[in-house]
Structure 1
């Protein structure tokens, strides 16, 4: 019971002191592995989520990293078979989502799948 109360007490004290709390992880393959809260430093004003996803044929993978940052480096790119984004926010545990700023481009995604099929067909010849 004490193991649960100590982090809860620390979170409450941090809220009272207006310290930012963000979720934190490094190179996780799932958002479920990114639900550990961390107290940010005094100069860190943003929670940041970095997402990288790649898919080609039956192979796919993703990497999610989260933490605190002194700057807000929002950016993103989606080329159909690969996507990367950096999302930031500035409130209590606001970086809960794993890929909130990655939006699918269905045209580019369809083109990527089509190119994959042609690649597989050529490899069989």
Structure 2
């Protein structure tokens, strides 16, 4: 009995001083070379790495963010000019690497995407993007549409995204080009930002 109590007290002493840590970085210029170690606040049990790549013509921009999170799940979305991924893990300093390279491997699925004037563009889905997504919103009284590839985790969250951050409707479907190809007349960058901020911050 005394041995059990001693082992328990010893274990308590070692674990009491241990706190969960993740790498932290705001690499707005493509690199997390200067990442630091962050002791996570109480309640954070996951490390997250999120990457966003914007490609407009020949101009490409990439941002990577690493931080602690209370809970999260891996997500991926490709809407043509913007592709974003977020991966999570739950051990100390597990987010050392940037986004999983497998997230860029085509999976055979294709979806329609919008370029601000037309939604007849086609994007090739990759990694865990096994659904097509369509989101609508209103900005300044104008209707805006975003379409592209999405992971199941994004689609599972669509019930809670309605009427949040100007996003009025999000729907997902499974199957090649199942998200339609109608035209739109307004820019969709504001809707993209609202949609992505919801998935990455909630």
Report deviation, 1:96: 1.4
Pair 1:80–1:16, CA change in 2 (3 A): farther
Report deviation, 1:93: 1.2
Q: How many residue pairs get matched?
A: 97
Q: 2:30, 2:61 within 8 Å by CA — same for their partners in 1?
A: no
If the length of structure 1 is used for normalisation, what is the TM-score? 0.62
Q: Give 1 or 2 for the bigger CA radius of gyration.
A: 2
Q: 1:83, 1:102 within 8 Å by CA — same for their partners in 2?
A: no
Is the strand fraction higher in 1 or 2? 2
Is the helix fraction higher in 1 or 2? 1
Output one character per residue of 1:34-92: Cα deviation in whole Å (capped at 9) or x when no partner. 52110001210000111100223321011111110111132111345431011110112
Q: 1:51, 1:62 within 8 Å by CA — same for their partners in 2?
A: yes
In the alignment, does 2:26 pair up with 1:22? no
If the length of structure 2 is used for normalisation, what is the TM-score? 0.41
- Bigger RCO of structures 1 and 2 (CA < 8 A, at least 6 apart): 1
Unaligned runs of 5+ in 2: 1-13, 111-121, 124-202
C-alpha RMSD of the superposition = 2.9
Unaligned runs of 5+ in 1: 1-13, 113-125
